[in-house]
Structure 1
Amino acid sequence: MTKALSPDVARTATGRGAMLAVLLTAVFIVQFDFFVVNVAAPSLESDLGAGPAALELIVGGYAFAYAAGMITGGRLGDMYGHRKLFVIGVLAFTVTSLLCGIAGSPEQLVLARLAQGLAGAIMVPQVLAVITADFPAESQGRAFAGYGMAAGLGSIAGQVLGGAMVQANLFDLGWRLIFLINVPIGIVTAIVAARVLPDRRDNPRTGLDPIGAVGVSAALALLLVPLGLGHSAGWPAWTWVCMVLAVPVAVAVLYWERMLARRDGSPVLDLALFRVSSFRAGIIAGVAFNLYFGSLMFTLTLLLQSGLDLTPFEAGLVFSPMGVFFSLSAMYGGKLTARFGMNSLIGGSLVTALGLVLFGGGLALSGPELSVAWMVFCLALIGLGNGAVLPSLMGASLMKVRPESAGVASGVLTTSQQFSISAGVAVIGALYFGVVGARGDGAAHAEAMQWSVWINVALVFAVISMVLVLKKIAKAEQP
């Protein structure tokens, strides 16, 4: 590996551009791999013999491992350096992607996906930490906009490019290509990251908290695993027992973390972060946003493929305008926030809500006969609004966080986002399946989509209410 740039050189315009490019590449591939498995599910079923439970674990296991390891990944970055942990995470993600691509059985793929999620949990918290700690204030808006754009594009590309790769069957690799494509990308990203990211540690004296790390992971597992597997398993008693047990486990973890902080220890979950009003409001807004976003992506895929009988590639093309307008909006989101403040987030949320209302209204009037053109128009509006909200919301959440806490704060933020996406898929997805029931025809899917859309509208207005709180905080702190 070549020698890393010093922090001073890294803060030049050229250095920041190179840093941002390598950081956003990691964000893109992590999000891409979360959503791409959805379009490959039929191939995994026929080629590997993966049953419903295995498919749930292939998708949900990645999400769980990613969410469960995020806070610890952020803490490790604060301790040992964000550059070092980022490079380790990228290399681990590259190796585990290779293992996914050569898996010969459902069990092997499940284990590889768990490891891949943990690798992402090491890598991604360093992205927001570097932006928060190493980018000057005047450059952070653009950097957060790029983060949001990369995350959104990765989500959309997972549907579009993933469907195209599976259908094209290049080199007779089929679904394996969606994982193997990460190998050359990861190698290049790791080499460039070792050169351009600054070598620094924000809190080298901080220790690890294995009890807290295991406790946080256990509490998340008790919620995420039943939510992910409950529907396909018919919601047996163990799913409800696990979710009930999650509450006392979470309480015990919080008690331990508070006690450790009083002893001047190093709790993995820095509860002092939640005393920062902007961080607290940003977390709530982010949870509401990602509940809506995760459920929309999942239920819309079901509507297009199961209800309207589109191929994975055709369904991916319907998502494309959302990705294009998300990118355009996110590209200028930082400038809009700099000029209009929190009003730009409110405006973006209202545009998203408008797109959802028009989509839900179209389904109510036309049902499964709703034209694809109208869906594309509504999704374009939704993407336009999302791009104005997500990047700026993340920046607002971290605006008052101290640089030495940037890693763990980023871990908490991204953990809450990932959990919210998974919970949105599980809870609103279960409602969707419940409405579809045994009918399974286009009319049933259209009705189910209506229910999910109206819930999503309510979630978007919850985002707006929290943005108003952030606006009040920002106004109160002005000189």
Structure 2
Amino acid sequence: MSVIETRSVPIIPVRAPADDGFPARHQVLPVVLSAMFMAMFDWFVVNVAASSLQHDLHAGESALELIVGGYGFAYASGLITGGRLGDLHGHRRLFVLGMLAFTAASLLCGLAPNAWALVAFRILQGGTAALMVPQMLALINTLFPVRERPRAMAAFGATIGIGAVSGQVLGGILLNLDLFGWGWRSIFYINVPIGLAAAALAARWLPAHERIQRPKLDPVGALGFSAALALLLVPITLGRPEGWPLWTWLSMVAAVPVMALTVGYERRLTTRGGEPVLDIAMVRARGFGLGLLIAGGYLTFFAGFMLCLTLFLQNGLGLSPLQAGLAFAPLGVCFASGSFFLAPRVAARIGTRVMVLGTCTSLTGLAITLAVLHFGEPHLGTLALIPGMMIVGTGNGLTIPSVVGAVLSSGIPARQAGMAAGVLTTAQQFGNAIGATVLGVIFFAALGTGQHGGHYVTAMETSALGGALVLAIVLVAALALPRPAADRD
């Protein structure tokens, strides 16, 4: 056993033996997955409400970008620390506390009196999401026996797609209904009853005791990783509306030495026998590292594709937010079906190669979408785009739960599940932020000053080609992923 494994904190749920799993695991799984649903829903739902926020709160472009992106960089920056806190103090405890804190932050968002108050509350909301989400994957990894984890991870993958698409669909419905005259505030208020119910059920159903130690937290590592990610994500969020001033470039450059110094400190802390917030040896393992690239790359494509397609449907084709949201419903159904029904069955037959199949499927759907865009003018309509979107959703559903299962099963001890989940989810949310920004910049650059349909088609085509390049990189990583002995012929 390595020194790192010897020092790791044992996380052993009561009544959760490795062979049989926790008896109430199937009952509690939807409660645990509600954290992922809420986190993804709140990432995407604000896009639908952007025009309402501009009108009601007089939010300028910079404030609007921070309302959307502030949640994202607070979420991504805190995930590693959130996962480590779960390992140190118990995943059940951090899940319940995180869910309650997220619920309170959502309520504050709904009560925000002005744009900058909403910015502050959205950053708080992202930070609280970073407490609850890593516990979800860690709990799945510890409560379910190995033979049942693929199905649980498939449900997790389906939840990512359902949450993202629900942000578009349910967000549009809520705005259209305007319940109690709440307008955009209802997209935050809806989290309150869901969060309270999820916290209460988790407190009641999850194992009540965990055998844990109380080692010291690594504040230098936690602060260093959070600072490095913030130095990168804040200018990415604000760069385009601010016209990419000098400080954005200096901030992104500064992120590199801050990250390097933090990694160096973590290595020295490990050598001295300390408890680092991130096990560098775990990240450097080939299977884990490639898995992070696949997970982050896929979410880079998915987030950028969703944003650009939303802009195209609403501004290019003239759909309302509700109509544009409903147009994503078939993609969401295929994402969920691919995750829950196809991925476990295909993975059982071809193992980790399911990620290669899923990526090729998404590339096929993207190629069909590009062909429709190129040859569909001047009578391009929403229905013509649906088949390509559905195939993209199926590919996403095959890949995302499979890579999550592969990463968390690549020799990670259960007692490090929170740390591994935090790193994995950080890669995914970092991909979300990069994808929405980079592909969005490509979209607006191709759009230029033109505002008629033809310019929007060109912008969508160009951003889709950028997404295809990202998927090509993911495909190379999937082909290079080490295959377990069970996968080999």
TM range (shorter): over 0.9
> Who is 1:434 aligned against?
445
1:404 CA displacement: 1.2
Does the C-alpha gap of structure 1 residues 25 and 5 become closer, same or farther in structure 2, counting only changes over 3 Å? farther
Q: Deviations over 1:16-67 (max 9, x none)?
A: 1122111111111110011000000111111111111111111111001100
Q: Secondary structure at the match of 2:44?
A: helix
Find out whether 1:121 has 2:144 as its counterpart.
no
Matched-pair contact (CA < 8 Å) for 2:153–2:404? yes
Residue identity matched to 1:469 = A
Determine the C-alpha separation between the residues in 1 that align with 2:435 and 2:22.
39
Q: Which runs of 5+ in 2 are unaligned?
A: 1-12
- Separation in 2 of the partners of 1:439 and 1:176? 33
CA contact (8 A) 2:22 2:144 kept: no
CA shift in 2, pair 1:42/1:262, >3 Å: same
Q: Output the TM-score relative to the length of structure 2.
A: 0.94
Shift, 1:179, TM fit: 0.4
Determine if contact 1:162/1:178 at 8 Å carries over to the other structure. Answer: yes
Distance 2:408 2:211 in 1: 16
Matching residue's letter, 1:43 = S
In structure 1, what is the equivalent of residue 82 of structure 2?
A: 73
| Counterpart residue identity of residue 341, structure 1 | G
Aligned twin of 1:369: 379
Q: Distance in 1 between matches of 2:378 and 2:455?
A: 9
Q: Answer with 345-354 or 292-301: which moved more.
A: 345-354
Q: 2:433 aligns with which of 422, 427, 433?
A: 422
Distance 2:167 2:140 in 1: 25
Equivalent AA in structure 1 for residue 146 of structure 2 = A
Q: Distance in 2 between matches of 1:324 and 1:69?
A: 31
Aligned: 1:320 with 2:329: yes
Q: Contact (CA 8 Å) 2:352, 2:483: kept in 1 or not?
A: no
TM-score for both structures, normalised by structure 1 = 0.95
Q: Check the 8 A contact 1:336/1:344 in 2, yes or no.
A: yes
Describe the shift of the 1:402–1:367 C-alpha distance in structure 2 as closer, same or farther (beyond 3 A). farther
Distance in 2 separating the partners of 1:140 and 1:393: 12
> Which amino acid letter does the alignment assign opposite residue 433 of structure 2?
S
C-alpha contact 1:29 1:182 (8 A) present in aligned 2? yes
Residue in 2 that maps onto 1:157: 166
Question: Amino acid of the residue matched to residue 133 of structure 1?
Answer: T
CA distance in 1, matches of 2:111, 2:290: 43
In structure 2, relative to structure 1, the CA distance for the partners of 1:137 and 1:368 (3 Å cut) is farther
Does residue 228 (structure 1) correspond to residue 220 (structure 2)? The answer is: no
For the residues of structure 2 that align with 1:11 and 1:56, how far apart are their CA atoms?
Answer: 47
Q: CA offset at residue 156 of structure 1? A: 0.2
Alignment partner of 1:401 out of 408, 412, 427: 412
- 1:188 is matched with 197
Q: Note the C-alpha offset of 1:201.
A: 4.3
Say whether the 8 Å CA contact 1:79–1:202 is kept in structure 2. Answer: no
The residue that corresponds to 1:89 in the other structure is 98
Structure 2 partner of 1:300: 309
2:412 is equivalent to residue 412 of structure 1 = no
Alignment length (residue pairs):
475
Q: 1:8 to 1:251 in 2, by over 3 A?
A: closer
Partners in 1 of 2:430 and 2:266 — Cα distance? 20
Task: State which of 34, 54, 57 in structure 2 corresponds to 1:45.
Answer: 54
8 Å CA contact retained: 1:10, 1:16: no
* Distance of 1:316 and 1:202 partners within structure 2: 45
Q: Which residue of 2 aligns with 1:259?
A: 268
Change (3 A) 1:477 1:344: closer
Quote how far apart the aligned CAs of 1:478 are. 6.9
Percent pairwise identity: 44
For 2:48 and 2:399, the matched residues in 1 are separated by 27
| Mapping for residues 52-63 of structure 1, pairs under 5 Å | 52-63=61-72
Task: Look up the SS of the partner of 1:414 in the other structure.
Answer: helix
1:203 Cα shift?
5.5
Cα distance in 2 for partners of 1:10, 1:116 equals 37
CA displacement at 1:226 relative to structure 2 = 0.7
User: Residues 406 and 287 from structure 1, CA distance in 2 versus in 1: closer, same or farther, beyond 3 angstroms?
Assistant: same
Letter in 2 for 1:358: I
State the partner residue of 1:246. 255
| Greater Cα shift, 178-187 or 131-140 | 131-140
Contact 2:38 2:191 in 1 (8 A): yes
1:103 matched to which residue of 2?
112
| Partner secondary structure for residue 369 of structure 1 | coil
Q: Which amino acid aligns with 2:54?
A: E
Structure-2 separation of matches of 1:467 and 1:226: 30
Match runs of 1:140-219 below 5 Å? 140-201=149-210, 204-219=213-228
> What are the residue-to-residue correspondences of 1:25-40 with 2, within 5 Å?
25-40=34-49
When the two chains are superposed, the root-mean-square deviation of aligned CA atoms in Å is 1.9
Write the distance in 1 (CA, Å) between the matches of 2:317 and 2:76. Answer: 33
Tell me, what secondary structure is at the counterpart of 1:473? coil
Amino acid at match of 2:312: L
Aligned partners of 1:203 and 1:404 also within 8 Å: no
